Structure 1
């Protein structure tokens, strides 16, 4: 199959850690067939490397990439444009052809290459599987990487205990290659890959260890639970959500393939049905994310990690992340100017989480070709971020209910889950602040996030 034109065939977006946040077909299907997830770490090595270069250098890059999904070889021309947070990915050509039969050695080298790109921690080991060096750029695994760096000379199994193995360590490396391991304070499932160094037929002179997860990083990381709260069973976030997200993502990807007629001609009615299936699947994915976040913010002992931040910078990041979605409706977002600054004491990623929800809601409920404003305000002991829109507005009665759990104010079919504002207010209060609303029917809405000011700035 060959598709080559000057138009944009598919768009995708990555975040600041080179994870694919969203993608259209045919790129979404390639991501899943290559063993990735949506959302999840970019599973095509060449694409991930290109995205990483564009993000780190802050420059637009365009080039051809090649990938194999086990059935076809895909060659595509992609354009990567860095945003404030992550990158915008555009596909302009797409060609696929059957994969030729390859030797086992070639396939093994390709597997190692993919694991090397997807690894969130890479460790160099000696011939006795003892730690020599550690590399990681994952914020979630920073404590683990630091512990391993301080434990040079110790077996890697001291830091990553294998699951369901009780024998003395280290075992023979072939018994540990691909084993599931326990990562402290992480809700994701993990596995390791061991790649030996040395000549075939001889004992390895050392190893390269890759730590990988088949699940995307959680948007919220819970604090360690108290002894009392450890007895609470986490169903959605820890057990159910990871199991459901991958098959639902595949349903969405397949539905998009049908909707866009990439699999062949189709009557309009069936294309519309496939579009409804894809929309319903995306709603389920959003619901799983929100339910996982809900368990975090309602867990006993939940707290945030306050830091000295600039609300102007966070606001511009939120506007940049959601800029593509706004432009699709012709909506302009006016974010604070880079020269503006308002210092506060709060956790950067929690504030960003709240603003993404507020701006996302404003885009969802605002009319086309309207405007959204993000304004800053110094209120003495508090710093405020105000998100205002030109939407239908809310009555006094609706304003009382809007922060309730699962409250959607009678709306249906808009893609919301009724949890975003409830979670956002819990986050604001956990940071010592508040989230409130000012509105009137027909006059839009103003959501006001307050967090403690940084009086030492």
Structure 2
């Protein structure tokens, strides 16, 4: 399903979604949110908060899970005095288009080290750079976007090579004549190619800055000699984005076959399709873990701290995994609406840790049992715990459970042995920690601790 009509929405100054067209309004509710209410889609909430805090227009493609299926949508966020206006386009189920298999634009996006959003007149609306030698260009763009008055043309930020320039004209050449044009920027020794991707409905363009010659992996710092990149950088940073879409398409097609949406099918073949879908999910989970592993082990990794409520995070995580828990007959108890545990941490990363802990609890606790999420504050620390009624861990297992690739002898359970390692790294990067208390035969209790938000706590009590 490809959305051609822009979907419009608005968030207030507290990141609450106050109005939204379909299908965003429906996705908000299916993700456990309300309308009006805090944005329930983690990737969208992160973009809204970043646009609001920076007071700069931002645009990028985000992914989300809707009823267990991956969706992809382009989002433009424009900060206003009292909130953020959103415009969503190209809403589609990942793998829904035949051309998605190896689509050229997807490869271009992975090679691009600068990504810009233009209007129909090629005026710059938003921009994001990833290459170190484009940092000066990024600062110039941020400065330009922060000024009042008409937006600048993208060509005012770069120097087009001879043949693509149009001296004395207010407008650049037609985009088809500029597609694949070479340009240079101040601060970069490299030459760059401009690649245009028209947006749906003739509303503008995505402009990608791609190195003229790919002599190194994307995002590798200029001037650093590397005979062989680290394995986790190669897999997590460069191959993971390219693998997500084809693997998601395999899963979607296998589910179509399994559910017999394409027509009658013998039971054994439906079972084969179910095995393919499950294997695809396992591979996709491994891809995501490798991407996270590369991120948390990077020397410059630093989460974006924010004021959050661990009780709210617990309720969101339980809502996202409610269907999986119900399928196994597991009850998930969460803190009541009147319970708060204000903390300082990156919302998206905290939710990631909780989803990992809750997924493990649902996976390893017996059916028809209970998983309990509790939270609170003690002095300068806020905490949230996830306790199950599974087999528990021995002292030796508890010592090893946070090691990289440690699966405690389990096989065939779909795990990569990276989830808890990554979760602890994230917790410590946010100034907290992740620990486990366990008694064999009586279940395990994982506790995430973070710095308490004293001011936020006073506001909540007031």
Asked if Structure 1 and Structure 2 have the same fold, meaning a TM-score greater than 0.5 normalized by the shorter chain, the answer is yes
Change (3 A) 1:308 1:173: same
State whether structure 2 residue 303 is matched by structure 1 residue 304: yes
Aligned to 1:408, the other structure's residue is in SS state coil
Counterpart-to-counterpart distance in 2, 1:79 and 1:155 = 35
State whether structure 2 residue 349 is matched by structure 1 residue 353: no
Counterpart-to-counterpart distance in 2, 1:449 and 1:326 = 21
8 Å CA contact retained: 1:122, 1:208: no
Counterpart-to-counterpart distance in 2, 1:180 and 1:161 = 9
Counterpart-to-counterpart distance in 2, 1:408 and 1:61 = 42
Counterpart-to-counterpart distance in 1, 2:155 and 2:406 = 47
Change (3 A) 1:78 1:175: same
Counterpart-to-counterpart distance in 1, 2:155 and 2:7 = 30
Give 5+ residue unaligned stretches, structure 1.
1-29, 31-42, 63-76, 92-112, 137-141, 183-189, 198-206, 214-223
State whether structure 2 residue 197 is matched by structure 1 residue 193: yes
Match of 2:315 in 1: 316
Match of 2:32 in 1: 83
Q: Deviations over 1:358-389 (max 9, x none)?
A: 11111111222221111113232211111111
Alpha-carbon shift at residue 287 of structure 1 (Å): 0.4
Counterpart-to-counterpart distance in 1, 2:200 and 2:258 = 45
Q: Deviations over 1:215-263 (max 9, x none)?
A: xxxxxxxxx9999999655311332122222222222222222222333
Q: Deviations over 1:379-435 (max 9, x none)?
A: 322111111111221111111111111111111222211111000000011111110
Aligned to 1:235, the other structure's residue is in SS state helix
Match of 2:81 in 1: none
Counterpart-to-counterpart distance in 1, 2:221 and 2:314 = 33
Normalization by structure 2: what TM-score?
Answer: 0.62
8 Å CA contact retained: 2:141, 2:157: no
Change (3 A) 1:79 1:261: farther
Across the aligned residues of Structure 1 and Structure 2, the Cα RMSD in angstroms comes to 4.6
1:124 to 119, 124, 129: 119
Change (3 A) 1:145 1:44: farther
Alpha-carbon shift at residue 350 of structure 1 (Å): 1.6
Counterpart-to-counterpart distance in 1, 2:425 and 2:289 = 13
Match of 1:436 in 2: 435
Normalization by structure 1: what TM-score?
Answer: 0.63
Match of 1:104 in 2: none
Counterpart-to-counterpart distance in 1, 2:183 and 2:266 = 48
Q: Deviations over 1:2-23 (max 9, x none)?
A: xxxxxxxxxxxxxxxxxxxxxx
Counterpart-to-counterpart distance in 1, 2:27 and 2:312 = 29
State whether structure 2 residue 265 is matched by structure 1 residue 263: no
Counterpart-to-counterpart distance in 2, 1:78 and 1:382 = 34
Match of 1:154 in 2: 152
Change (3 A) 1:314 1:270: same
Counterpart-to-counterpart distance in 2, 1:361 and 1:291 = 18
Match of 1:209 in 2: 204
Give 5+ residue unaligned stretches, structure 2.
34-39, 42-63, 69-86, 93-108, 110-114, 128-137, 166-171, 185-193, 209-218, 457-462
* 356-365 vs 170-179, greater mean Cα deviation: 170-179
Counterpart-to-counterpart distance in 2, 1:244 and 1:174 = 29
Counterpart-to-counterpart distance in 1, 2:291 and 2:446 = 24
Match of 1:422 in 2: 421
Change (3 A) 1:237 1:180: farther
Aligned to 1:377, the other structure's residue is in SS state strand
Number of residue-to-residue matches in the alignment: 347
Aligned to 2:204, the other structure's residue is in SS state strand
